[in-house]
Structure 1
Amino acid sequence: MVEQRSVGSTPTRRCRNSRRCLAVCRSSIIRSRAAVSSNQRTNLAQRAANVEAKRYEITRRISVDPLECISGSHHGHCCRTAAFRRRNRWRRSRILGNGSSDSVPHVRPVRVSGDVKFTNVVGGFTHTCGIARDGAALCWGANDSAQLGDGTVKPSFIPMHVATDIRFQMIGPGGGHTCAVSVEGIGYCWGGNWHGQLGVGNRDGDPAAPCCYRRPTRIHTDLRFRTVVAAGISSCGVAVDGKAYCWGSPQEGRLGTGAADAAIKWGDKTVPTAVSGDVIFATVIPRAWHTCGLSSTR
C-alpha cells in the first residue's frame, strides 16, 4: 500500500540504503535539518530549502513492534528487535545472516544465525553489520572488497566477527566498505578504498597502498567521533563537538566541502575534511549521490 508521510522530525526507523525510502517521523524532537545535495539532482537541491513543507511517497510500509521499518527499492533491507535482542531480518538470504546462500527475496523476518545478542544492527548495500552487547562488531553478506573486516574477501552467510579486539559503540556499513566508532570515540574503517573513502590518508592505486583493508584501520585524524557512516565512495562522521566531516569522492558535491572541490574530477579527500558552514549536527548520513544531516539546533 502506498502511503504519504510528512517529513519534519525524528525518524523512528529508516531503511538505510534505498533512495526511495524515507523515515516515518515523530514531531517535537528534531527541530531542523541540513542537506548536501547532488549537483546532478537539481530538483532535490531546490526542495532542500523548504523540506519541512514537503511530502514524500513511501512505496511500502511495514510495521513491527517495537521499531517501525519502511522498505522501498530492492536495495532496502531492514531489521527489528526480537525477544532477548536477537535479530530478525528480511531481504535476500545471502545478506540476511540466516545461513542460506540463496537469492530469493524474503518478505517476512528471518532469524539471524547464532545466539549473539545485539544492541544495534545496520544494513549496508550488500552486507550487514551489528554491534554485540560486549561491543564486538560482526558483519555478514558480500565481501568482495573486504567490507566484512574478517580478514578475508569471502562472503559469509552468517555473522562473522570483525578481526579486532576493539570494542565499538556504533557501526555504519556502506557499499564496499564499513566504518565504525570505538567506545573511546576513535573512528575506524575497512574495505575498499578506491576513492579514499576509508579516510586513512591514501587510496587504492597509490604507491604502497593495498587494494583494500581487510581489518579495521584507524581514520587518519585526532578527532573523536560520535558517528561515522560509510556510503558508496564516501564516508561522513560527526565529531563530539557536533561538527561534520566527510571524505572520499567529492563529485556531485556529496562531501559538502564546497563547489570548487565538487568540480575536481579526481580531487578525492583521503582524510576527514570539514563540511562547509557552521551547522552543529546530531547526525550525518551519506548516500550514493548526496548527503543529508540532522542539526541539533534551530
Structure 2
Amino acid sequence: GNTPLFRTQDTLTVRGPAADTGAIVLRVPLTYVGPGVDAASLTIAPALTSAVAADTVRLGALVKDAGGGILSDVPIVWETEDSAAATVDTDGLVTVGRAVDRTATIVARVAFKDISAEATFAVRPASIELTPAADTAESVGDTLRLTAVALGADDRSVTGATYQWASLDAGVVALVQDAGETVQVVSRGAGSGRVTVTAGGLSDTATIQVTQVVTSVSVSPAADTATVGASFTLTGTAKDARNSEVAGATFTWASSDANVVKVTVADASGNAAAGSTVTVQAAGVGTAKVSATSGGKKGEATITVTPVPFPLAQVSVGDYHTCGLNAEGDAYCWGDNQAGQLGNNSTTNSLLPVAVAGGLKFKSISAGSLHTCAHLEGGAAYCWGDNRFGQLGIGTTTNSLVPAAVSGGIAFSVISAGGLHTCGVTTGKQAYCWGLNYFGQLGIGSADSTKFATPQRVAGAQAFEFISAGGAHTCALTGQPGAAYCWGIGSEGELGTGDLGSQTCGVEPTRRSCDTAPVAVTGGRSYTAISAGGAHSCAVTDTAEPLCWGYNAYGQLGDNTTTNNSSPVQLSGPRLGVKSIDAGTIHTCVVTLTVGTETTGTTAYCWGRNNSGQLGDGSIADRRAPVAVPAVQFQTVATGGAHSCGTDLNSQALCWGQNEKGQLGNGTTIRSLTPALVAKP
C-alpha cells in the first residue's frame, strides 16, 4: 500500500513459484516519481564558519530544481565525517563535540540522487576562564601560577584548546613561558600588571598587584665616625622578602640622641625618598643611632662622634680637672671647677676646654688637687683655684677664680701643684714651697705651722733643677741628671730613703712618720726625671730605667706585687727604656724612648689602680706590672686622681679614665677605657 522509494534507474526483481519449471524471475526497471524527483541542487543552511563546543545547531537542507524552484518534502540523509568533532541526527540536529581547535564537516545528501552538500566549521570554546582572575605578589621575584580553562556551551571544560599568553605590563610581571594551559609569571616591579590568555579567538585577563611589602630596612653606611660639626649623608634602602629594593619607599628618620647626631630631612614630616640621601650633622661627642623606618621595619646606623682634635704642647692632670698649654702658651683647663681651678672666673664645671682668663702666655702649667699653677717665660708664677691652705702663694687663703701672681716676685723655671701645697724651682735653682705643711711637705725643716700663704725656701744647701709636689710629700732633682731628694710624709715609704722617715709629723690620730727637710733617695743613683704621686714616687735613671717606691696597695710601683717599699724597685717584665714618668694618686704612667733619639715619644705604659680605666688598656682591672696603652704613640703622658692624659706625635691631646666631672675634655661625662681625643673648644 506504500509507495517504495527507489533510485530512478533501479531494477526490481520479482521471484515466484512454478509448479513444474521452478522459479520465475522478472526484472522490471523502476522510475521514482515522488517528491524531489526534479532536484538539481542542495544547500545547507544556515551557513556555519564556527560553532561552540558542546552546543547544538539545527541544520536544514534547501533543495532546488533546475529552474531554481524550491522543492519540499525531499528526503535528506545526514552524515558526519568526524564524530569526535560533531555528530548529526536524521533531522539535521548537530551536536558539537568537546574538542576545540578542530574542524567538523556535516554532509547532507538527497536520498535518491547523487546530490550532496557539506557544512564545514571550526569548533571553538564558548568562553575562556583565567584563574585566579586577580592575585598579589609581595616581593619582586615572586612566582605565581595562572591557569586557563576553555569552556563549552554547558560551562564545562573542553579539550584541545591552544593557549597563547602575553604580559601587557612587562615591567611589573613577566611570563616564564607563553604557552600551555598553566603558566608561571614572575613579578618584576611594583604596580599593577595584566596578563592575558587567548584561545579560539577568545581571551581573558588576570590582574597581578605587585605590592612589595617591606620586610627589611638598612641604612648605609651602617656605621660611621665623624668629628663634631661635620655633616655627612646616610641612605635608607627598603627591601622585600626576596631582597629586592622597594622602589618608591618612604622613610621616617630619627636620631636616638639629637645632642650627638642631628638628622636633616627633605620635608617637615621627616620623610625622605628611598635611595635619596639625608643630611646628618655631628652635634656632640658620643654615640647615637640614626634610624630609618619604612613599612613598619627599621634599620639603623651607628654614628660615633669624636671631638675636633685639640693640639696642645703639654698637659697636666689634677684630681678631677686637667689643664694644658698650646704651642703659643695659651692656657686651657676643663673638668671640675668647684674651687675655680679652671681659672675662667667661674665655679662651673666644664666638659670642654675653657681658656684661662687673663690672656697670659705661660711656659709650663701644673694641675694639683683643686688648684692650678703656671709660670711665664720670664719666670713669674701664677696660681688659681683652692686656697684654703695658702697653696696659691698669694699671701691670703682666699680662693682665686683667675690667675693670681705668686707673692715675692720670684722667677721660677719649674712649678708643681700638689695635693694642698705647691713647690717651684727658681731660675737660680733654689727650691720654694707654700701651702699646707702638716707633714713637712714644704721642706722647711719643721712642721710647726700647718699652712704658709707665701713661698718658703726649702731647707738645705742643695741646688735643685726640678721639683714635683705630691699628695703630702715632695721630691726634687739636683740636676737632670742629678741626685734625688724627697721630704714630707714617709709613712708609706714614699720618700725612698729605705725607711719611713726620721721624724714624726702631725697630731693624733693622723700623726705619721716624716722628714721635714730634703733627704736623699737611697741607692745613690743619678736621675733625669722624678714624680711625686699620692703616696708613692717614681723616677727615671740616667740609663732610662724607671724605678718606683712607696705605697703599693694597687700595684702602682709596677713590681708585680702589692707590697710597699721604702727603697726604689725595678718594674716587673721586660726592661723599658723610659723618656718620662708621672706618678698619679695610685697609678703610674711612662713614655718609652724611641731607639736612637730622646726627642720623639713612643708607647705609653701604665700600671696600678684601674677602677676607672685610668691605665688606658681597655679594661678596669688593676695592673701590678706595666701594660701598654694601645693604638697611640705619645710625646708626653700625665696622671692624676683617676684619669690620665697625654699628647700624641701630632700634639693632639688625649685623655682616658674617670670623667664624672668632664675631666677628659671630650664634651661628655662618660668614662673612657682607652685614649679619647680632647675636644677643641
Q: Please give the range of the TM-score, normalised by the shorter of the 2 chains.
A: 0.7 to 0.9
- Counterpart-to-counterpart distance in 2, 1:113 and 1:24: 23
Q: CA deviation at 1:229?
A: 1.2
Provide the residue aligned with 1:291 in structure 2.
588
Change (3 A) 1:253 1:5: farther
Provide the residue aligned with 1:151 in structure 2.
445
Q: Structure 2: where are the runs of 5+ without partners?
A: 1-283, 286-306, 328-349, 505-512, 595-601, 603-681
Q: Does 2:533 align with 1:240? A: no
- Residue identity opposite 2:553 in structure 1: Q
Conservation of the 8 A alpha-carbon contact between 1:15 and 1:77:
no
- Counterpart-to-counterpart distance in 1, 2:379 and 2:551: 37
Q: CA deviation at 1:62?
A: 2.9
Change (3 A) 1:77 1:200: same
Q: Counterparts of 1:83-162 in structure 2 under 5 Å?
A: 84-93=378-387, 94-102=390-398, 104=399, 106-153=400-447, 154=449, 155-162=451-458
Name which of 556, 579, 598 aligns with 1:254: 556
Name which of 196, 203, 220 aligns with 2:500: 203
Write out per-residue CA displacement over residues 219-259 of structure 1, whole angstroms, 9 at most, x where no aligned residue: 0112100111111110000111111000011211111111x
Conservation of the 8 A alpha-carbon contact between 1:137 and 1:162:
yes
Conservation of the 8 A alpha-carbon contact between 1:229 and 1:237:
yes
Change (3 A) 1:5 1:139: farther
Write out per-residue CA displacement over residues 179-201 of structure 1, whole angstroms, 9 at most, x where no aligned residue: 00113610000000111010001
Q: CA deviation at 1:82?
A: 3.5
Question: Match of 1:172, SS?
Answer: strand
Name which of 302, 306, 315 aligns with 1:14: 315
Write out per-residue CA displacement over residues 158-181 of structure 1, whole angstroms, 9 at most, x where no aligned residue: 000000110011001101100001
Change (3 A) 1:70 1:124: closer
Change (3 A) 1:5 1:193: farther
Q: CA deviation at 1:25?
A: 8.0
Question: Match of 1:98, SS?
Answer: coil
- Kindly name which structure, 1 or 2, has the bigger radius of gyration based on alpha carbons: 2
Name which of 268, 272, 276 aligns with 2:568: 272
| Bigger proportion of residues as helix | 1
Provide the residue aligned with 2:519 in structure 1.
217
- Counterpart-to-counterpart distance in 1, 2:366 and 2:531: 20
Provide the residue aligned with 1:193 in structure 2.
490
| Bigger proportion of residues as strand | 2
Write out per-residue CA displacement over residues 48-85 of structure 1, whole angstroms, 9 at most, x where no aligned residue: xxxxxxxxx955433552447697xx824323334732
Q: Does 2:367 align with 1:65? A: no
Question: Match of 2:322, SS?
Answer: coil
Q: Structure 1: where are the runs of 5+ without partners?
A: 27-56
Question: Match of 2:401, SS?
Answer: coil
Question: Match of 2:441, SS?
Answer: coil
Q: CA deviation at 1:285?
A: 0.6
- Counterpart-to-counterpart distance in 2, 1:198 and 1:159: 22
Conservation of the 8 A alpha-carbon contact between 2:492 and 2:564:
yes
How many residues were matched structurally?
252
Provide the residue aligned with 1:40 in structure 2.
none
Change (3 A) 1:240 1:174: same
Name which of 466, 472, 478 aligns with 1:182: 478
CA RMSD of aligned residues (A): 2.7
Change (3 A) 1:118 1:161: same
- Residue identity opposite 2:498 in structure 1: G
- Counterpart-to-counterpart distance in 2, 1:200 and 1:67: 33
Provide the residue aligned with 2:531 in structure 1.
229
Conservation of the 8 A alpha-carbon contact between 1:150 and 1:215:
yes
Conservation of the 8 A alpha-carbon contact between 1:171 and 1:179:
yes
Name which of 579, 584, 587 aligns with 1:282: 579
- Counterpart-to-counterpart distance in 1, 2:516 and 2:472: 11
- Counterpart-to-counterpart distance in 2, 1:70 and 1:250: 24
- Counterpart-to-counterpart distance in 1, 2:452 and 2:427: 21
Most deviating of 195-204 and 238-247: 195-204
Change (3 A) 1:289 1:25: farther
Change (3 A) 1:223 1:69: closer
Change (3 A) 1:70 1:111: closer
- Counterpart-to-counterpart distance in 2, 1:96 and 1:209: 27
Conservation of the 8 A alpha-carbon contact between 1:249 and 1:269:
yes
- Residue identity opposite 2:500 in structure 1: R
TM-score (norm 2): 0.35
Conservation of the 8 A alpha-carbon contact between 1:79 and 1:90:
yes
Question: Which one has more relative contact order, counting CA pairs under 8 Å at least 6 apart?
Answer: 1
Question: Match of 1:101, SS?
Answer: coil
Question: Match of 1:109, SS?
Answer: strand
TM-score (norm 1): 0.76
Write out per-residue CA displacement over residues 196-221 of structure 1, whole angstroms, 9 at most, x where no aligned residue: 010001126xxx76521010000011
- Counterpart-to-counterpart distance in 2, 1:240 and 1:187: 12
